Amino acid sequence: MATFVDHVTLHLRAGNGGNGCVSVKREKFKPLAGPDGGNGGDGGDLVLVADQSTTTLLGYHRSPHRSSENGGPGMGDHRNGGNAEIRELLVPIGTVVKDMEGNELLDMDEPGLRLVVAPGGQGGLGNAALSSTKRKAPGFALLGTLGFEGDVYLELKTVADVALVGYPSAGKSSLIAAMSAAKPKIADYPFTTLHPNLGVVDAGETRYTVADVPGLIEGASEGKGLGLEFLRHVERCTALLHVLDCATLEPGRDPLSDLDVILGELGAYPVPEGQKPLLERAQLIALNKIDVPEGRDLANFVRADLEARGYRVFEISTVTHEGLKSLNYALAEVVEAGRIETAAAEAKKPRIVIRPRPVDDGGFVVRVEGGSFGNIYRILGTKPERWIQQTDFTNDEAVGFLADRLAKLGIENELYKAGAISGSTVIIGPGHGVIFDWEPTLTSTAELITAPRGTDARLDEPKRRTSNERRTEYFGRMDAKASARAELIREREAGMWQTGEEEQNEDVRSGAADAEPESDTVVDATTAETETETETANAAEADTVDTAEPADAPTEDK
């Protein structure tokens, strides 16, 4: 026996991305010819597709666990891993996809709609793709990220133009079988339909769908009987056709009381925001089973009261097909009017504008959480969490590459703004995540953190002389040399010492006047010559000191 299922929980696991490869090309006479590790392949996605040929979620009820393949790993010689195939999951039109918290992800109310409900993991880059001018031969590769793993909730809401509502055994299944080619279960004993039946009806040039939904009893809006199982399938219908049983044998029931109960339950059911309430939609009444004599008499008796309420009333028989043609065209007229109204409402919808992410949006947040031993700083964001999954923490070079990426993203500056200090506990990702003891780098504001209170370590650098200080020192040395030279001149003029030339001239004059012996003259001349050479050397050295500039003498600023 076929079973109808209109809500199910899917347990999904998308494929993981393949790891990148670490490889170095080796050839004859070229033992290290450069990195050639390929990239890993992407994991397979799980995609929901709205399909017209699918009418129930029974397949997912019996096997709710669905998964896709993993991506292939990268290989040497620049060989990339293969991408896994996308796996499509067919669902009926009208399926609403929700997360486990009840948030609606997508209403698949049109054929062909696709939703990537479980994205596959991203393949990791090989060391060939990570090479650069600064890192010519990386000794690491990125790992593949994990695919989505979690649950989603599928809820089927029948998509039809007209919904047949009424008490159980009112003849709704017989009516849809008489008006369309649908084959619902029909028997000659009282029972209720357990799942909706759809039928396509042609009325001239108009074609519309009719839904026979489970019977309604008092308290259905509160969950009694099939309750919400029924009312869920009425939300999308343009018009409601109340099928009233005019030949019921149950005591205390008649078409008017049945209609009042049905209207009360329809009015108590809350429709989703943006949809028209059920009682404000077009409503028609079909008085069924007039092929029974008592049924025809009762239909003639209550017809006036129903028309006085503003309803269009049709007396029908699903056995003899009496009154079905007029009912068919009346429903087609209501459906056409509803389609025109819907098209006008669609035209007035605001245009969807997709704005790109701001350039200065880092894509992460730093959240401060209290802990037993101080604050914990948790980093949440798509990029940091993905980078953590891609890092091989057994490879120091890969860890350094991760640190460079995090610093470039601006995480360290945000940690400092949040109040983190050296040694603070930092967690990247939700839950347990990856835990670090934060040690700030010099590229961030770390110098403000490590310095004692009220000091700045950047001011403790060795002091360099300015241009003015070097110029003042140079001119001071020049003034000292000029003073020493003037003192020497003053002593020479006072006769405290003479140059070699002056002494020689004086000796010549003295020799000519006194006519001393030749031996004494020779001795004096020799002594004078020696003293002259000494004084000449001293004078040359003094002149060198006076004229030479110091090596570190600064140039005048222009």
Q: How far apart are CA 258 and CA 126, in angstroms?
A: 71
Q: How far apart are CA 172 and CA 211, in angstroms?
A: 9
Domain annotation covers residue 430: yes
Q: Are 150 and 201 in a shared domain?
A: no
Q: List the CATH number of the domain containing 247.
A: 3.40.50.300
Q: How far apart are CA 409 and CA 413, in angstroms?
A: 9
Q: Report the residue count for the chain.
A: 558
Element (H, E) at 11: strand 7-13
Residue 453's pLDDT is 43
Task: Say if residues 199 and 182 touch (Cβ distance below 8 Å).
Answer: yes
Over the chain (558 residues), the average pLDDT of each successive run of 10 is: 70 95 86 88 94 84 93 93 94 89 87 92 93 86 94 85 82 81 51 61 84 60 48 79 83 83 80 79 89 86 89 89 89 88 73 66 80 82 90 88 87 86 87 83 48 46 74 90 89 76 61 48 43 47 44 42
What is the model's pTM? 0.63
Strand extents, DSSP E, 179-300 = 197-203, 206-212, 239-245, 282-288
The annotation status of 172 as a binding-site residue, yes or no, is yes
The annotation status of 500 as a binding-site residue, yes or no, is no
The annotation status of 170 as a binding-site residue, yes or no, is yes
Q: List the CATH number of the domain containing 440.
A: 3.30.300.350
The annotation status of 118 as a binding-site residue, yes or no, is no
Residue 557's pLDDT is 42
Residue 195's pLDDT is 58
**What are the angstrom distances between the C-alpha of 555 and each of 321, 331, 468, 475?**
116, 102, 11, 12
Q: Which of 413, 438, 469 is the last residue of a domain?
A: 469
The annotation status of 95 as a binding-site residue, yes or no, is no
The annotation status of 287 as a binding-site residue, yes or no, is no
Domain annotation covers residue 532: no
Q: List the CATH number of the domain containing 83.
A: 2.70.210.12
Q: Are 177 and 144 in a shared domain?
A: no
Q: How far apart are CA 167 and CA 365, in angstroms?
A: 56
The annotation status of 248 as a binding-site residue, yes or no, is no
Residue 172's pLDDT is 79
For 426-473, the three-class secondary structure string (H helix, E strand, C coil) is EEECCCCCEEEECCCCCCCCHHHHHCCCCCCHHHHCCCCCCHHHHHHH
The annotation status of 321 as a binding-site residue, yes or no, is no
Q: Which of 415, 449, 469 is the last residue of a domain?
A: 469
Q: Are 40 and 189 in a shared domain?
A: no
The annotation status of 191 as a binding-site residue, yes or no, is yes
Q: Are 234 and 144 in a shared domain?
A: no
The annotation status of 171 as a binding-site residue, yes or no, is yes
The annotation status of 445 as a binding-site residue, yes or no, is no
Domain annotation covers residue 483: no
Q: Are 135 and 240 in a shared domain?
A: no
Phi, psi (deg, nearest 5) at residue 337: -65, -40
Where b means 16+ CB within 10 Å and e means fewer, 450-474 reads eeeeeeeeeeeeeeeeeeeeebeee
The annotation status of 230 as a binding-site residue, yes or no, is no
Q: How far apart are CA 216 and CA 196, in angstroms?
A: 13
Residue 190's pLDDT is 42
Q: For residue 492, which amino acid is it?
A: R
Phi, psi (deg, nearest 5) at residue 270: -80, 125
| Residue span of the structural domain in which 450 resides | 362-469
The annotation status of 288 as a binding-site residue, yes or no, is yes
The annotation status of 317 as a binding-site residue, yes or no, is yes
The annotation status of 86 as a binding-site residue, yes or no, is no
The annotation status of 371 as a binding-site residue, yes or no, is no
Q: Are 172 and 151 in a shared domain?
A: no
**Count of CB atoms within 10 A of residue 32's CB?**
10
Residue 197's pLDDT is 72
Q: Which of 156, 178, 193 is the last residue of a domain?
A: 156
How does DSSP classify residue 75? Answer: B
Q: Structurally, how many domains does the chain consist of?
A: 3
The annotation status of 194 as a binding-site residue, yes or no, is yes
Domain annotation covers residue 519: no
The annotation status of 154 as a binding-site residue, yes or no, is no
Block residue for tokens 């993905």? 386
The annotation status of 133 as a binding-site residue, yes or no, is no
Q: Are 384 and 323 in a shared domain?
A: no
Where b means 16+ CB within 10 Å and e means fewer, 100-115 reads eeeeeeebbeeeebeb
Task: Say if residues 164 and 213 touch (Cβ distance below 8 Å).
Answer: yes
The annotation status of 195 as a binding-site residue, yes or no, is yes
